[in-house]
Amino acid sequence: MKYLFLITFLLLSVALSAQSTDYDITTEGHWSVVDNNAASFQQYSLRAKLLSKPLNQGKNGILRVQATYSFVKIGFKEHQELFNDVQQFHSVGLALGYIKQLKNPKWNFVGMIMPQLNSNFTNGISGDDFYLNALAYFIYSKQKDTRFSMGFVYTNTFGFPAPIPVFSYWKAWNDKWEMNFGFPKINLTHHFNERTSLIAYSELKGYSGNISKPINNPIFRENRTAQRIGYSDVLAGLEWQWKLKRLQLRINASYPIYRDFKLRNSNNDVAYKFDMGNNFNIGVGVDFDL
């Protein structure tokens, strides 16, 4: 189930960024400061706004299109030859979003469908690399300083047949303080001025992808074949944001409350579990307009 949460996080990140920021390009990278675990991760991502088109001057909603790309580099400290082909993974996707204000102006609808390819691509592209995800939720704005979002996310990645509920409650007390409570992210933000903010947050991050050439080895549980990777972190941290007219810089430091990395077979059974401890992570992001 937690791997479904990773897809949920990805979809919400794309959907919420599509409606809450006007930046054309969003980039970010995350890595560990010191890592003595069996495996270490570096992750870099890019989102580019391709289209934002009001339909009938916005009366029929807004159509938005984003291209997404992420690169994950894995460093192994055990069985390096065995895992030689699963050190680099790529994800390429296209997010098609639709935003519409309903007859009651306090309500808005957000829908998104996101086909993507997640794999190490060492044997070309196959049907197992293809993921199809969808998201639909409603936003209720009771007042300018209060907003509640609720809806569902669906993914075919792990064969779970039903949508998963998602929710978020956002509240601004004044120009200096605001919070967001929900899944998959909780944060409390203090704005020092119009340019500078500090955010305390807890969130779920991770990655899942297909292994082009399945791996077999006697060390795997019950002689299972590894065909997928799944990595997840529950992080608590601080992020500093600095904004200019056409650019935003983000720097964060976090510590994992929970960390998990497994190889799985086609039935999602665990083939191999890595010994993962906790260590500090840092991240840098730059958002800008063209």
What CATH number is attached to the domain comprising 203? 2.40.160.40
**Amino acid present at 185:** K
Q: For 140-168, what is the mean pLDDT?
A: 77
- pLDDT band at residue 132, thresholds of 50, 70 and 90? confident
**Which residues on neighbouring strands pair with residue 182, listed in sequence order?**
168
The answer to whether the CB of 230 falls within 8 A of the CB of 261 is yes
DSSP secondary structure letter of residue 128: G
259 vs 199: which has the higher pLDDT: 199
Q: What is the mean pLDDT of the chain?
A: 86
Instruction: Note the pLDDT of residue 6.
Output: 47
Q: Domain count for the chain, please give it.
A: 1
| Alpha-carbon span 180 to 168, nearest angstrom | 7
Distance of CA 136 to the CA centre of its chain: 16
pLDDT at 21: 52
The Cα angle at residue 86 between residues 84 and 90, in degrees rounded to 5: 140
Model's pTM, two decimal places?
A: 0.85
State yes or no: pLDDT of 16 exceeds 50: no
pLDDT at 290: 80
Identify the residue with better confidence: 177 or 128. 177
The pLDDT confidence band at residue 156, using thresholds 50, 70 and 90, is low
Residues 245-268: what's their mean pLDDT? Answer: 91
Q: How many helices (H) and strands (E) does the chain have?
A: 1, 15
Give tens-digit pLDDT for 176-202: 999 999 877 899 999 999 999 999 999
**Which two structure tokens, joined as six digits, stand for 15?**
């959907």
Residue 121 scores a pLDDT above 80: yes
Nearest CA to 52 out of 23, 11, 93 is that of: 23
Determine the average pLDDT of the residues in 253-261. 91
- In angstroms, the CA 43 to CA 47 distance is 14
Task: Provide the pairing of β-strand 130-143 with 270-273.
Answer: unpaired
pLDDT tens digits along 216-244: 998 999 999 999 998 888 899 999 999 98
Domain of residue 62: give its range: 2-288
C-alpha distances (whole Å) from 17 to each of 10, 14, 24, 199 are 11, 5, 11, 16
Strand partners, 137: 110, 151
